[in-house]
């Protein structure tokens, strides 16, 4: 259903003056749809409404502000309101077209007996809803019959976008046509400007303004303008806003968000604005008496919805947040980028825009991806950040470069912008390699692709034969490792999550993991640059048909595998737990800023739930976080695990020398909303933790 009266005030710049005396909620005084004999109000049948001396509005009210709604009128018409005992005004309060619901706000003196009169002076019968949203006593405000000050529909003609009209006192401003845009109030005397309404293109738009004499309105979208003077308001007072109850948000369908709200009384046109992880979605106008809407095609992540009447101040809006989740699809690994093949590296401070969605088998509706980032042929110490291209670069990093000539890798989970792109920023010049290992698509429930997270469990350690792998892998060697049915991984898991550590490396070269039974894809998971190194990286890899994954080494070395989770397969019963909700990366911990170093017992606990976009109240089962150890006093390792559980015999990252900066992605279950952090004796590291997303607990 179309909407005739379309304006949303978003003013928030100057300090708000004192508002009108207002009822606790708008006080209903007429609803022709309710009562013992509901019927539309016919034309030329004036209705007398008691607006003062009623519960919520005292008898001393001299001026009232009325919210008036016309509901689905059967034809065009106009309506006037005036004080009881006086003559009808020369100009109507509002005018409408057939089938268009209309909202209007009126400022009118209280007549004899505390009453006003309302009449459809022209047109067809219509249902009418009237509420008192504010009142003023005598001495604070005065109202007069409407006096028309401006009407460009005659010889003047429509205003061009950006032209102005003068206002002063309490005015009803109506804009007809135009291309839409902000209406800005420039108060007399040079006070701060404020947006008083945001208009949609076309149609007829009306709103009230209270301003000092000599003020001007800038009509951003142009159009015909009518200004009716309604009275005066004492300085320091303001008109009441239309008020909405906070909206509730829930996932609906596979990638839709249902936004529902409650008004103080039926509202027949509402604006819903959505702020998603990767930018604001244009406002949606909801007509009729609906109090909910389902919006489809949204990216995953946390969404903030603002609900407001089509006309009214920012005070009349209400906001709520919800989360759009996704299921994981294991994929690849497939190489998306190697700047060495393009013939040029990223320069200092460069940002590379990388298309992902709709490319190389990643679908266009993917909301986030797992990528292995490798920096090579580096020119100096620095960092790399991956983030959705629609956002400003966050103040966190995904990959740290120790110095010139390095080759370092780290796994990252990165939300995609609406166009399927992500941005790669390099603080120092470097080549970049990007390998994708899976993606998320929108889902409210799913069978496959839901995370099962656990405290890390050591599955393989070739140094002592754990997992049936004994001795180092030889250069060019491979070994198949059974993952289904062991270390808590179920028999139908589609992918496994583990930290892969290479230690006592024979020399420079790479290590990789892939589904058993599949050919090598020229991708790597971690890189050694010298003999004797110990390096780790998180791996997310599809499981081969025989329940195994293959570990390969270009250079020789021992391998250690610590499993921290898996993703469900198609035989798993559908559910809503283990779905992923990305957030804008945020820093939860940096012990360099006054915190204690990690090193030896007892470790630290880090509160995660209720911070950085991760919900409180037990809604998050697990998190994705980039953990960085820096400025250590010696070699050692760091372990991340669910707080409240015994610390596992496993490591998340390894530091091999004092002063190193080593990151690794951790995918960890939460224990009572917290993570445990431990560094081995002598490591003495500062810890930095940046959260990137969370996984749901079944609803």
Q: For residue 140, is it within any domain?
A: yes
The verdict on 77 and 215 lying in the same domain is: yes
Q: Which of 526, 544, 567 is the last residue in one of the domains?
A: 567
* Degrees, nearest 5: CA angle 282-286-292: 105
The verdict on 481 and 374 lying in the same domain is: no
Q: For residue 12, is it within any domain?
A: yes
Token couple for 522: 């020229």
What pLDDT sits at residue 562? 95
Residue 83 lies in domain? 7-238
Q: Which of 442, 466, 499 is the last residue in one of the domains?
A: 442
Q: Which of 543, 567, 591 is the last residue in one of the domains?
A: 567
Q: For residue 2, is it within any domain?
A: no
Q: For residue 603, is it within any domain?
A: yes
Asked if residues 326 and 300 have their Cβ atoms less than 8 Å apart, the reply is yes
Asked if residues 286 and 274 have their Cβ atoms less than 8 Å apart, the reply is no
3 state DSSP class of 427: coil
Q: For residue 418, is it within any domain?
A: yes
The verdict on 653 and 671 lying in the same domain is: yes
Indicate which CATH number applies to the domain containing 637.
Answer: 2.60.120
What pLDDT sits at residue 516? 94
What pLDDT sits at residue 196? 79
The verdict on 175 and 38 lying in the same domain is: yes
The verdict on 214 and 317 lying in the same domain is: no
What pLDDT sits at residue 102? 66
The verdict on 556 and 581 lying in the same domain is: no
Mean pLDDT of 78-105: 83
The verdict on 559 and 691 lying in the same domain is: no
The verdict on 464 and 543 lying in the same domain is: yes
pTM flag (> 0.75): no
Q: For residue 83, is it within any domain?
A: yes
The verdict on 626 and 689 lying in the same domain is: yes
Indicate which CATH number applies to the domain containing 311.
Answer: 2.60.40.10
Rounded Cα–Cα distance for residues 539 and 42 (Å): 71
Mean pLDDT of 157-168: 92
Residue 48 to residues 130, 266, 408: CA-CA distances in angstroms?
A: 12, 21, 79
The verdict on 27 and 156 lying in the same domain is: yes
3 state DSSP class of 315: helix
The number of distinct structural domains making up the chain is: 5
Q: For residue 516, is it within any domain?
A: yes
Cβ contacts of 630 within 8 Å, gap of 6 or more: 400, 592, 660, 661, 662, 685, 686, 687, 688
Asked if residues 640 and 687 have their Cβ atoms less than 8 Å apart, the reply is no
The verdict on 371 and 415 lying in the same domain is: yes
Q: For residue 585, is it within any domain?
A: yes
Count of beta carbons in the 10 Å neighbourhood of residue 651: 24
The verdict on 291 and 343 lying in the same domain is: no
Q: Which percentage of the chain shows pLDDT scores above 70?
A: 89
Cβ contacts of 438 within 8 Å, gap of 6 or more: 328, 329, 330, 331, 332, 369, 370, 495, 540, 542
pLDDT tens-digit series, residues 261-293: 766 444 445 778 787 877 767 677 776 567 788
pLDDT tens-digit series, residues 223-265: 899 999 999 999 888 887 655 666 778 777 666 788 887 664 4
Greater confidence (227 vs 94) lies with 227
């Amino acid at each position: 259903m179309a909407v005739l009266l379309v304006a949303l005030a978003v003013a928030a710049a100057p300090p708000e003056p004192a508002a009108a005396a207002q009822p606790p909620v708008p006080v209903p005084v007429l609803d022709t749809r309710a009562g013992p004999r509901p019927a539309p109000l016919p034309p030329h049948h004036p209705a007398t409404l008691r607006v003062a001396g009623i519960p919520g509005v005292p008898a001393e009210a001299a001026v009232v502000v009325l919210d008036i709604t016309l509901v689905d009128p059967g034809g065009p018409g106009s309506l006037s309101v005036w004080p009881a005992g006086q003559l009808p005004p020369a100009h109507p309060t509002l005018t409408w077209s057939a089938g268009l619901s209309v909202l209007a706000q009126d400022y009118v003196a209280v007549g004899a007996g505390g009453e006003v009169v309302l009449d459809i002076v022209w047109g067809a019968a219509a249902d009418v809803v009237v509420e008192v949203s504010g009142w003023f006593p005598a001495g604070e405000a005065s109202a007069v019959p409407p006096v028309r000050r401006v009407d460009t529909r005659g010889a003047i003609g429509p205003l061009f976008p950006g032209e102005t009209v003068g206002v002063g006192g309490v005015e009803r401003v109506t804009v007809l046509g135009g291309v839409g845009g902000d209406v800005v109030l420039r108060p007399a005397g040079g006070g701060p400007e404020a947006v008083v309404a945001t208009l949609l293109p076309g149609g007829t738009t009306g709103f009230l303004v209270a301003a000092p004499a000599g003020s001007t309105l800038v009509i951003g979208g142009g159009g015909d303008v009518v200004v009716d003077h309604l009275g005066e308001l004492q300085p320091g007072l303001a008109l009441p806003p239309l008020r909405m109850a906070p909206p509730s948000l829930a996932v609906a369908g596979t990638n839709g968000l249902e936004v529902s709200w409650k008004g103080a009384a039926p509202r027949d046109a509402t604006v819903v604005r959505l702020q998603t992880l990767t930018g604001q979605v244009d406002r949606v106008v909801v007509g009729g008496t609906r109090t909910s809407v389902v919006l489809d095609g949204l990216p995953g992540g946390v969404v903030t919805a603002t609900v407001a009447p089509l006309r009214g101040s920012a005070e009349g809006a209400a906001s709520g947040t919800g989360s759009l989740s996704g299921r994981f699809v294991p994929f690849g690994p497939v190489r998306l980028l190697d700047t060495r093949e393009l013939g040029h590296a990223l320069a200092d401070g460069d940002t590379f825009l990388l298309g992902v969605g709709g490319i190389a088998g990643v679908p266009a509706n993917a909301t986030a991806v797992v990528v292995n980032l490798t920096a090579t042929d580096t020119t100096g110490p620095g960092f790399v950040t991956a983030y959705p291209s629609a956002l400003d670069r966050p103040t966190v990093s995904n990959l740290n470069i120790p110095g010139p000539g390095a080759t370092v890798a780290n796994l990252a989970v990165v939300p995609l912008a609406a166009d399927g792109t992500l941005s790669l920023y390099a603080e120092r010049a470097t080549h970049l390699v990007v390998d994708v290992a899976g993606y998320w698509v929108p889902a409210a429930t799913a069978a496959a692709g839901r995370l099962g997270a656990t405290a890390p469990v050591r599955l393989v350690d070739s140094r002592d034969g754990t997992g049936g792998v004994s001795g180092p892998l030889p250069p060019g060697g491979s070994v198949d490792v059974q993952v289904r049915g062991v270390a808590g991984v179920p028999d139908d898991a589609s992918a496994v999550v583990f930290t892969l550590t290479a230690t006592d490396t024979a020399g420079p070269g790479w290590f990789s993991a892939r589904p058993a039974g599949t050919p090598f894809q020229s991708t790597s998971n971690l890189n050694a640059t010298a003999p004797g190194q110990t390096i780790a990286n998180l791996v997310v890899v599809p499981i081969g048909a025989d329940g195994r994954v293959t570990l390969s080494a270009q250079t020789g070395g021992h391998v250690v595998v610590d499993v921290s989770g898996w993703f469900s397969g198609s035989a798993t019963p559908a559910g809503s737990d283990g779905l992923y909700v990305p957030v804008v990366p945020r820093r939860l911990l940096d012990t360099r800023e006054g915190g204690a170093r990690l090193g030896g017992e007892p470790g630290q606990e880090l509160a995660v739930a209720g911070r950085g976009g991760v919900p409180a109240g037990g809604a998050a089962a697990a998190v994705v976080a980039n953990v960085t150890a820096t400025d250590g006093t010696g070699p050692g390792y760091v372990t991340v695990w669910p707080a409240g559980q015994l610390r596992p015999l496993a490591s998340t990252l390894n530091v091999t020398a004092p002063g190193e900066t080593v990151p690794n992605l951790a995918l960890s279950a939460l224990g009572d909303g917290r993570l445990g952090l431990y560094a081995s004796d002598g490591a003495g590291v500062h810890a930095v933790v940046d959260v990137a997303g969370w996984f749901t607990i079944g609803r």
